[in-house]
Amino acid sequence: MAKYIFPEGFLWGAATAAYQIEGSPSTDDRGESIWDRFSHTPGNTWNEENGDTACEHYSLYREDVKRMAELGLNAYRFSISWPRIFPAGKGKPNLKGLDFYRRLIEELHKYRIKPAVTLYHWDLPQALQEQGGWGSLDTAKYFNQYAAFIFENLDLPVDRWITLNEPWVSAFFGYAMGVHAPGLNDFNTALRAAHNLLLGHGMAIRSFRDVNRENEPIGITLNLNPVQPFSDSKADLAQAVRTDGFMNRWFLDPVFRGAYPQDMVEIFSRSYDLSFIEEEDLTITAEPIDFLGINNYTRILVKAGSSEDDFMGNPYNPPEAEYTEMGWEVYPRGIFDLLVRVHRDYGPLPLYITENGAAYDDKLQNDGRVDDSDRINYLHGYFLEAWKALQEGVPLAGYFVWTLMDNFEWSFGYSKRFGLIYIDYPTQKRYLKDSAYWYRDVISRNGLEVKGGS
């Protein structure tokens, strides 16, 4: 039996996001978010679904924390809904909203589960969208005010803070591709949004350093993908560099190096206006952080696009590969490559996998069992590669599976199930899937055991 044991104190968690699980969209005076507006607009989501009910976590959170304890999680990553705290995005705070997160954290502490709090996981107050949303610098300033309010008033220990979740997705899915809220199709605005998100992040880090929250590290979560060329041709190799520049370096470089990558600045400026970037902005985006959160699900294998300015390229899905229900290639080696690369190029900070997991077409059996061996295989493969990265000296300190329970998968509505826990939406009953029991064993051993493995 080969054993792959993780370092002592390694965080084994699961992650969620407010809009995807909470439901109760107007309870305790929550304001409207861009996701309420977007998902209630016909044509935007699968089956016209929205987060109005989701997993009813707002009322069932105690039961959910109990399930986390049953799984043996030692950490839980969740997000705070900005419109619960500032229903109009700014102005007078809503203390009833804050109280919910206080109660949730108290409950987590009861079971010794460490809270990792994300401040922004895509649910911008709609009132701020009316004023330009992330396309406007004011939104960064209001985000900072909201963040500072939380740092000062959420008076319970928080183990880790994360400013933003996946700003690439917020900016480009939301403002350029129109598939996420607010549903815009304007690449210039998306570039601005990306920049303002990074400014909001840096401002919030500064505010955090001004409050007395000792031993509470703070970082950012980026969605990163290893990018590989389809072939060794010059064109494919150059494409992989550009796609990496757009997908990864456009965020990593301003956060870690205080500069946008020069090759991408040249490409973007040939078609778009980057004059909004002020030099001193980059000292804000590069405000030192304590760790980096990485969300990774797959790799990008890319063929050259139509021109040397094409920063997307043509993604290629090898027919022999396995895919999840999202159509994402199962490629465990990618997480090794990514961790080693990020540490080599942007180290030495601790890294966390703040999301990794897979959607499958899970079925609830009559006996209440959910056989999701494909998810177990997926996670097993990714955990093993993460372990290998640790052996290469990568300071990986924790792993959060996406996601605790099936939930509202944005434009896919409830059609994609990523959870360790199955939600029967009509009854709101929770069922631990086989992967949840398997994960419980991994956590209790602090690693993997592989029969006949080497």
Residues designated catalytic:
166, 355
Is 22 a binder of ligand IFM (CB under 6 A)? no
Is 170 a binder of ligand IFM (CB under 6 A)? no
Q: Around Cβ 95, how many Cβ atoms within 10 Å?
A: 12
Residue 144 to residue 148: CA distance in whole angstroms? 6
What's the chain's Rg over C-alpha atoms? 21
Shortest CA distance to 51 belongs to which of 20, 28, 82, 29?
Answer: 20
The residue among 107 and 355 lying less far from ligand IFM, judged by its C-beta, is 355
Site for ligand IFM in 104-163 (CB under 6 A): none
Is 295 a binder of ligand IFM (CB under 6 A)? yes
Is 243 a binder of ligand IFM (CB under 6 A)? no
The residue among 15 and 284 lying less far from ligand IFM, judged by its C-beta, is 15
Residue 445 to residue 204: CA distance in whole angstroms? 37
In the complex, minimum distance from the CB of residue 146 to ligand IFM, in angstroms, rounded to a whole number = 19
Binding mask 251-290 for ligand IFM (x = CB under 6 A): ----------------------------------------
Residue 39 to residue 348: CA distance in whole angstroms? 40
**Residue of 353, 409, 414, 423 interacting with ligand IFM (CB under 6 A):** 409
Residue 274 to residue 329: CA distance in whole angstroms? 34
The residue among 272 and 323 lying less far from ligand IFM, judged by its C-beta, is 323
**Residue of 11, 14, 17, 376 interacting with ligand IFM (CB under 6 A):** 17
Binding mask 53-92 for ligand IFM (x = CB under 6 A): ----------------------------------------
Is 166 a binder of ligand IFM (CB under 6 A)? yes
In the complex, minimum distance from the CB of residue 237 to ligand IFM, in angstroms, rounded to a whole number = 28
Concatenated DSSP letters for 97-166? HHHHHHHHHHHHHHTTPEEEEEEESS--BHHHHTTTGGGSHHHHHHHHHHHHHHHHH--S--SEEEEEE-
In the complex, minimum distance from the CB of residue 221 to ligand IFM, in angstroms, rounded to a whole number = 9
The residue among 49 and 281 lying less far from ligand IFM, judged by its C-beta, is 49
In the complex, minimum distance from the CB of residue 122 to ligand IFM, in angstroms, rounded to a whole number = 7
The residue among 64 and 409 lying less far from ligand IFM, judged by its C-beta, is 409
Residues near ligand IFM (CB under 6 A), total: 7
Residue 296 to residue 356: CA distance in whole angstroms? 6
In the complex, minimum distance from the CB of residue 295 to ligand IFM, in angstroms, rounded to a whole number = 5
Q: At what angle do helices 373-391 and 434-445 cross, to 10 degrees?
A: 30
Question: What letters, b where the CB count within 10 A reaches 16 and e where it falls short, cover 161-174?
Answer: bbbbbbbbbbbbbb
Residue 256 to residue 282: CA distance in whole angstroms? 10
Residue 351 to residue 347: CA distance in whole angstroms? 9
Cα 170 to chain centroid distance, Å, stands at 10
The residue among 350 and 357 lying less far from ligand IFM, judged by its C-beta, is 357
Residues β-bridged to residue 235: none
In the complex, minimum distance from the CB of residue 308 to ligand IFM, in angstroms, rounded to a whole number = 31
Query: Quick one: residue 302, left, alpha or beta (phi over 0 = left, psi -120 to 50 = alpha)?
Result: beta
Site for ligand IFM in 310-369 (CB under 6 A): 355
Q: Around Cβ 3, how many Cβ atoms within 10 Å?
A: 11
Q: Around Cβ 209, how many Cβ atoms within 10 Å?
A: 12
| CA dist list (Å): 166 to 19, 224, 237, 369, 389 | 15, 9, 26, 33, 22
The residue among 181 and 284 lying less far from ligand IFM, judged by its C-beta, is 181
Q: Around Cβ 237, how many Cβ atoms within 10 Å?
A: 14
In the complex, minimum distance from the CB of residue 10 to ligand IFM, in angstroms, rounded to a whole number = 22
Number of residue whose CB is nearest ligand IFM: 17
Tell the residue number behind the tokens 């105690």, with chain if given. 62
The residue among 168 and 260 lying less far from ligand IFM, judged by its C-beta, is 168
Site for ligand IFM in 389-408 (CB under 6 A): 402
In the complex, minimum distance from the CB of residue 131 to ligand IFM, in angstroms, rounded to a whole number = 25
The residue among 242 and 417 lying less far from ligand IFM, judged by its C-beta, is 417
Contact call for residues 202 and 289 (beta carbons, < 8 A): no
In the complex, minimum distance from the CB of residue 113 to ligand IFM, in angstroms, rounded to a whole number = 20
Residues lying near ligand IFM in the complex (CB under 6 A): 17, 20, 166, 295, 355, 402, 409
